């Protein structure tokens, strides 16, 4: 007895066009992997992220911790996963390209390694495209220090909060919604 073509028998079934469809899928997948960095949007961000003029941040946090630099670094590290590239500048003209104007508006450092940490930070940002404001965002994160908090200093725990904010902002930049509240807000 002979089985009709395309049914199971002595050999695997053959379907016309099946190998072409798989080749096309493989080619599209390969091209999309290579094209992603080229298509990534460049977004300019100030490094370090400055403190707002009206910020509620104790002077010892400003002098002892590097949360502005850490926030910029975390954003730059996470943005490529969401299709963007962060370009760091010391000053930000908002009239050309995409610019995310960020500022730290609040940081709190209560507690310590012995009594327990309670740290928080808040950043506010405005996204510009060719000088026109297209979206604004506020992101806040809190931390009790995580695993082994008793072995961490206050600045280390504050850096955890801005790392999380950087990740939140990177995700938001992939689809910026005006007036967004991210993190623990």
Query: What pLDDT does residue 31 have?
Result: 45
Alpha carbons 35 and 176: distance in angstroms, whole number: 22
Its domain, for residue 88, covers: 41-183
* Helical (H) or strand (E) element with 25: helix 18-39
Q: Is residue 30 part of a domain?
A: no
Q: Is residue 35 part of a domain?
A: no
Alpha carbons 148 and 152: distance in angstroms, whole number: 7
* Helical (H) or strand (E) element with 85: strand 84-89
* Helical (H) or strand (E) element with 167: helix 154-174
Q: Is residue 141 part of a domain?
A: yes
Q: Is residue 21 part of a domain?
A: no
* Helical (H) or strand (E) element with 23: helix 18-39
Q: Is residue 120 part of a domain?
A: yes
How many separate domains does the chain show?
1
Average pLDDT, the chain: 82
pLDDT digits (tens, 9 = 90+) for 127-153: 999 999 999 999 999 987 655 555 556
Q: Is residue 105 part of a domain?
A: yes
The CATH number that applies at residue 86 is 3.40.50.10610
pLDDT digits (tens, 9 = 90+) for 67-107: 999 999 999 999 999 999 999 998 888 788 999 999 999 99
Q: Is residue 158 part of a domain?
A: yes
**Average pLDDT, stretch 159-174?**
97
Q: Is residue 84 part of a domain?
A: yes
């Amino acid at each position: 007895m002979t089985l009709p073509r395309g049914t199971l028998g002595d050999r695997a079934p053959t379907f016309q066009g099946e190998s072409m469809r798989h080749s096309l899928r493989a080619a599209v997948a390969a091209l999309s992997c290579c094209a992603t960095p080229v298509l990534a949007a460049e977004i300019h961000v100030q490094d370090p992220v400055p403190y707002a003029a009206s910020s509620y941040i104790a002077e010892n946090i400003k002098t002892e911790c590097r949360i502005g630099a850490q926030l910029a670094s975390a954003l730059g590290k996470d943005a490529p996963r969401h299709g963007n590239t962060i370009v760091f500048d010391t000053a930000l003209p908002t009239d050309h390209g995409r610019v995310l104007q960020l500022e730290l508006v609040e940081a709190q450092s209560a507690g310590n390694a012995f009594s327990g940490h309670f740290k928080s930070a808040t950043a506010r940002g405005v996204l510009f495209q060719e000088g026109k404001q297209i979206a604004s965002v506020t992101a806040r994160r809190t931390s009790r220090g995580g695993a082994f908090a008793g072995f961490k200093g206050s600045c280390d725990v504050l850096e955890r909060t801005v790392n999380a904010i950087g990740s939140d902002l990177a995700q938001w930049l992939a689809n910026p919604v005006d007036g967004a509240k991210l993190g623990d807000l």
